[in-house]
Amino acid sequence: MTDRQVLLSAALGVGAICTTVAGSSSSTNARIDDLHANLMDFRAAVRAEFQSVRDEVRGEIQSVRGEIRSVRDELEGVRAEIRDVRVELRDVRDELGGVRGLLIDHLDGHERDGPGE
């Protein structure tokens, strides 16, 4: 049931009770008017409270969305750093591969030339 339906249902219920209690005498019409005015005041207060809660929830949602964006930005920064480290590791691995090749060539040269030469 929507909020509007709840308020309408409450208003109809109060109206029915007022009519039943008051009857149709003219002396009670003022009481009915007072009850109606009170009902309208209550309805306005409920709407105001509902709007206040809605605004508060929307504010919280916006705040959480901002925090999520901030975390996403931080995460993207971390991902960029990881990519940079991976590139550096590949460069180091390539350099080590080159040094390994030089060492193998150097050792092969010593084996061909013989010990001590």
Distance, CA of 60 to CA of 49 (rounded, Å): 16
Give the range among 6-20, 27-41, 81-95 with minimum mean pLDDT.
6-20
Interhelix angle 3-22/29-113, rounded to 10 degrees, is 160
Q: Is the pLDDT of residue 20 over 60?
A: no
Contact 44, 53 (CB under 8 A): no
Give alpha helix (H) positions in the chain. 3-22, 29-113
pTM across the whole model: 0.48
DSSP at 24: T
Q: What is the reported pLDDT for 15? A: 58
DSSP at 28: G
Give the range among 6-15, 51-60, 87-96 with minimum mean pLDDT.
6-15
Mean pLDDT of the chain: 83
